[in-house]
Amino acid sequence: MYTTVRTCFLDKHDNTIFNQKMQLTYPSHHSWTKDISAGIEIDFSGRAAKKIHHSLPRLEEAGVTYRIEPLTEHFFNDFLPLYTNQIGAKDNALLHDVVEKTLHNKSHDFPYYSFSLWEHGEFIGGTIFSLRTDKVSYAFRVFVTDWNQSNLKASPALIGEYVIAEFATKEGKKFLSHGKDRNPYGINAAIGLATFKLSVGCKATVATGSETRTIDTTTIDTDCLILEQPTEGDVITNARLVTSRDTYEKYIQVTKYPNLLSVEVLFRD
């Protein structure tokens, strides 16, 4: 038996709906975009903004450095080992030939840049992105989960997000595109990836070329986040977190951004 909890009321004992079966319709792929035309900090969650403001003045003393520069072959010497190790270790991993899809891609004329982050001289993450007419568009990104030595409150990925957004505004760009993901999370990517994108103010839309699929929730045997097919337009406003009672707290943060994505919880037990 499944229990659905509407996350606007987090007390599951006071607001439960029992379901034997639920059919969910969802897009196979979706894109994430953040509007930075009115400022880069507006859509950061309060929690993320506080971590950033606490950490930025402390980067130098923590031995953290970064740089943004045109993409070169040299960047991949550092990026590829971390990308292959982290992405390749995930369930249902999809590894891309990132060099051919970016630096060696001759099908377009927009420039690619790299962001690299270092802690005491050790590469701990980076992003490959392109400059488009009105936006910065992420192609590939990978970061270690936490600092190796520092106790900065903002994660490496969060520092990267802020610095690239700042760069984008200086270049006169209005949007920051976080690329395209496969749906659902938990099966094709970590649920934490969606949480991070929501925390920095991204909104999800149905990706061009996406297929509409349906899933019976009684067949789901793993924790996952399903972004649902919108009834009108392409902006995704609703999602379903399918989890167990034991692991619910692990993913609760994804329910904290109802202005960007309304998430209801469906317990599998």
Lowest-confidence segment of 18-22, 39-43, 70-74, 209-213 by average pLDDT: 18-22
pLDDT tens digits for 124-143?
A: 999 999 999 999 999 999 99
Q: At what angle are helices 191-199 and 156-170 packed, to 10 degrees?
A: 40
pLDDT for 11 equals 41
pLDDT tens digits for 168-210?
A: 999 999 999 999 999 999 988 899 999 999 999 999 999 999 9
Angle at 196 between CA 214 and CA 238, to 5 degrees: 35
Q: 229 pLDDT exceeds 90?
A: yes
pLDDT tens digits for 55-109?
A: 999 999 999 999 999 999 999 999 999 998 887 656 555 667 899 999 999 888 8
Q: How far apart, in whole angstroms, are the C-alpha atoms of residue 174 and residue 239?
A: 27
Q: 14 pLDDT exceeds 60?
A: no
Reported pTM = 0.85
Report the share of the chain in percent with pLDDT over 90. 75
pLDDT for 268 equals 84
pLDDT for 3 equals 53
Beta strand spans in 121-227 (E)? 122-131, 135-143, 175-182, 203-206, 212-216, 224-227
What mean pLDDT, rounded, does the chain reach?
Answer: 89
Mean pLDDT of 12-36: 73
Structure token digits, residue 25: 């319709």
Report the share of the chain in percent with pLDDT over 70. 89
